[in-house]
């Protein structure tokens, strides 16, 4: 493991406070790939199982194959179907066909089977015997494929050796992850035992290679180390185990981001990182306020975050008003569709009055001088005094858009000024604005949609940063909306496209932003 980290200019530092930290031995430039690794297991979420390959997670085309036994698993190629079969579907296929368990339980069992098979195969003795087993597997019927069609599926010796090494690194990383078993409640222990027993029942050969206790330990590692595999639009599509990625600690102000491509997890630098600094990713949505983040991190990952942002009582989190828990009577009221629709109508009406395109020109927002003049005249200016959402847009745009391409140091300095200048953002209202934007898009109301999209974009610049993947995607959304709004916004659309491309390339290395169609 240490050798692998060193090859990527990284090293592991042990400490009582964090157990382990991964730091860089070189200066890393923003946009640089820090490390890349394959998964140990992937299980698609229920709502996308007909859309993605169950092996490589590639988007399925018209020509796809389906497992003829369970009729749940779909594949993009024969290679993927064979690989999935030998990686665990051979054992879990019957469970998916019968569907006698809850979907979440099936996903846990499927993922555990994939991981345990890799751990067992990593043993030297098992590797030797697995070669003989592999020859037998090729004679078996796999899903709806005929055995004679499996003969052409091969891979080079070099590729096989590289995959073996990555599997070995994954196993070592996985077994080093914390289980936090001392923080598990009794009812959860019962659930874990049931899942472990189920795996031993469907894969009886494992009884000679592992134990129920070890399987429970693996499940515990899942619970506090798994990732949600997301697509290019950042929608979650699968539960996944990426042990190498799990070596990196969490921060609510991370210096790195991660994305996924063809079953691999890639971690990239979101800003310039000096030598000796710890590489941190985020385990949760940092648009959430501190109470929500702390609750999620404690419940799922079993730790209380002590990052710079969480410890700063006068910083970014003072500008976020948390979502409040609804009372039972409010939930019952909202369950009434008529009442819910009426409440949404009232919320959207308020936002429409606040984000009135007649009161703020997008041209003025993108004109640096005009925007600065607007910002200097906010106090006592009637439209902005009664429209705090427009005021928020102007303050952020006047300061941050002028340094959007500046160095990290200059941008961070101005960012601190913005945080001090803005009024707190109510997350409940922010969520409603996001919903309102898509409501306007559905109605082809690009004037209101573009302004509400701009509000969301300014919030992302403040609370996520200029190179966060969501910020890049929001620039792209805004560019499309103002392009569709009118030809008068051509310059603003082009500038927004440039900023979208810059952010997305740094965060995800995607250099294929399509030209906007009118």
Does 294 map to a domain? no
Region 505-518: mean pLDDT is: 58
Q: What is the CA radius of gyration of the chain?
A: 26
Does 152 map to a domain? yes
Do 68 and 203 belong to one domain?
yes
Residue 499 — pLDDT band, cuts 50, 70, 90?
A: very high
* Average pLDDT for the chain: 88
Q: Does the model's pTM come out above 0.85?
A: yes
CB-based contact 143:81 (threshold 8 Å) = yes
- Give pLDDT, residue 128: 58
Burial label, 482 (beta-carbon count in 10 A; 0-12, 13-18, 19+): buried
Do 353 and 222 belong to one domain?
no
pLDDT higher than 50, residue 253: yes
Residue that is last in its domain, among 226, 241, 262: 226
Do 353 and 216 belong to one domain?
no
pLDDT higher than 50, residue 517: no
- Give pLDDT, residue 183: 83
Residue 384 — pLDDT band, cuts 50, 70, 90?
A: confident
The more confident residue out of 333 and 307 is: 307
Helix ranges, 176-270 (H): 186-202, 212-223, 243-246
Does 257 map to a domain? no
- Give pLDDT, residue 141: 39
Quote the CA–CA distance of 415 and 412 in Å, as a whole number.
5
Reported in sequence order, the residue ranges of 178-255 that DSSP labels E, i.e. its strands, are 227-230, 236-241, 249-250
Does 233 map to a domain? no
Q: Which of 193, 268, 255, 280 is nearest to 504 (CA)?
A: 268
pLDDT higher than 70, residue 101: yes
- Give pLDDT, residue 61: 86
Do 362 and 220 belong to one domain?
no
Q: Kindly state the tokens that stand for 434.
A: 């996001």
Burial label, 187 (beta-carbon count in 10 A; 0-12, 13-18, 19+): exposed
Residue 152 — pLDDT band, cuts 50, 70, 90?
A: very low
Does 261 map to a domain? no
- How does pLDDT run across 401-424, given as a tens digit for each residue? 999 999 999 999 999 999 999 999
Does 517 map to a domain? no
In angstroms, how far is CA 53 from the centroid of its own chain?
19
- How does pLDDT run across 256-291, given as a tens digit for each residue? 999 999 899 999 999 999 999 999 999 999 999 999
- Give pLDDT, residue 139: 43
Quote the CA–CA distance of 72 and 144 in Å, as a whole number.
12
Q: Which of 141, 160, 159, 158 is nearest to 150 (CA)?
A: 141
- Give pLDDT, residue 337: 66
Contacts of 444 by beta carbon, 8 Å cutoff, 6+ apart: none
Residue 208 — pLDDT band, cuts 50, 70, 90?
A: confident
- Give pLDDT, residue 143: 39
Do 216 and 355 belong to one domain?
no
The more confident residue out of 115 and 513 is: 115
- How does pLDDT run across 45-54, given as a tens digit for each residue? 999 999 999 9
Residue that is last in its domain, among 226, 253, 281: 226
Quote the CA–CA distance of 74 and 104 in Å, as a whole number.
19
Does 444 map to a domain? yes
Query: For residue 97, which phi and psi values (nearest 5 degrees)?
Result: -70, -45
Residue 325 — pLDDT band, cuts 50, 70, 90?
A: low
Residue 177 — pLDDT band, cuts 50, 70, 90?
A: very high
pLDDT higher than 50, residue 71: yes
- Give pLDDT, residue 510: 61
pLDDT higher than 50, residue 512: no
The more confident residue out of 183 and 477 is: 477
Residue 330 — pLDDT band, cuts 50, 70, 90?
A: low
Per the structure, how many domains does the chain have?
Answer: 2
- Give pLDDT, residue 145: 35
- Give pLDDT, residue 331: 54
- Give pLDDT, residue 335: 60
Does 359 map to a domain? yes
Residue that is last in its domain, among 226, 249, 281: 226
Region 80-103: mean pLDDT is: 94
List residues bridging with 36 in a β-sheet.
Answer: 266
| Residue 502 lies in domain | 349-508
């Amino acid at each position: 493991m240490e050798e692998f980290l060193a090859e990527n200019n990284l090293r592991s530092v042990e400490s009582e406070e964090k157990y382990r930290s991964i730091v860089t031995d070189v200066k890393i430039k923003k946009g640089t790939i820090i490390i890349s690794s394959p998964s140990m297991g992937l299980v698609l979420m229920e709502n996308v199982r007909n859309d993605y390959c169950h092996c490589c997670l590639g988007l399925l085309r018209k020509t796809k194959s389906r497992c003829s036994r369970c009729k749940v698993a779909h594949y993009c190629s024969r290679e993927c179907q064979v690989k999935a079969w030998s990686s665990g579907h051979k054992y879990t296929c019957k469970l998916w066909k019968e569907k006698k368990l809850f979907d979440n339980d099936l996903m846990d069992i499927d993922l555990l089977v994939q991981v345990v098979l890799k751990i067992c195969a990593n043993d030297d003795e098992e590797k030797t015997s697995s070669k003989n087993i592999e020859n037998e597997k090729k004679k078996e019927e796999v899903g709806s494929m005929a055995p004679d069609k499996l003969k052409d599926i091969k891979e080079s010796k070099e590729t096989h050796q590289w995959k073996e090494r990555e599997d070995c690194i994954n196993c070592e990383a996985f077994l080093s992850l914390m289980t936090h078993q001392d923080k598990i409640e009794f009812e959860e222990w019962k659930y874990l035992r049931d899942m472990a027993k189920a795996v031993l029942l469907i894969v009886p050969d494992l009884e000679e290679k592992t134990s129920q206790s070890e399987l429970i330990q693996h499940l515990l590692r899942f619970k506090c180390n798994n990732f949600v595999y997301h697509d290019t639009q950042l929608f979650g599509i699968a539960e996944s185990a990426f042990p190498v990625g799990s070596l990196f600690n969490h921060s609510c102000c991370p210096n790195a981001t991660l994305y996924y491509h063809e079953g691999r997890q890639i971690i990239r630098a979101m800003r310039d990182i000096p030598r000796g600094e710890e590489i941190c990713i985020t385990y949760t949505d940092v648009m959430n306020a501190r109470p929500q983040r702390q609750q999620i991190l404690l419940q799922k990952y079993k730790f209380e975050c002590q990052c710079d942002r969480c410890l700063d009582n006068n910083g970014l989190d003072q500008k976020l008003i948390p979502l409040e828990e609804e009372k039972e009577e409010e939930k019952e009221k909202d369950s009434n569709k008529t009442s819910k629709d009426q409440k949404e109508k009232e919320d959207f009406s308020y936002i429409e009055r606040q984000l009135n395109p007649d009161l703020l020109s997008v041209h003025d927002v993108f004109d640096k001088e005009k925007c600065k003049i607007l910002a200097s005249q906010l106090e006592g200016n009637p439209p902005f005094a009664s429209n705090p959402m427009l005021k928020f847009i102007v303050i952020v745009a006047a300061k941050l858009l002028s340094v959007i391409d500046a160095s990290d140091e200059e941008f961070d300095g101005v960012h601190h000024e913005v945080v001090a200048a803005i009024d707190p953002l109510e997350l409940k209202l922010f969520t409603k604005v996001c919903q309102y934007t898509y409501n306007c898009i559905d109605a082809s109301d690009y004037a209101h949609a573009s302004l509400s999209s701009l509000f969301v974009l300014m919030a992302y610049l403040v609370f996520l940063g200029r190179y966060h993947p969501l910020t890049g995607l929001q620039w792209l959304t805004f560019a499309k909306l103002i392009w569709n709004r009118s030809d008068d916004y051509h310059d603003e659309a082009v500038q927004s496209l440039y900023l979208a491309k810059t952010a997305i390339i740094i965060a995800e290395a995607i250099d294929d932003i399509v030209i906007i169609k009118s």
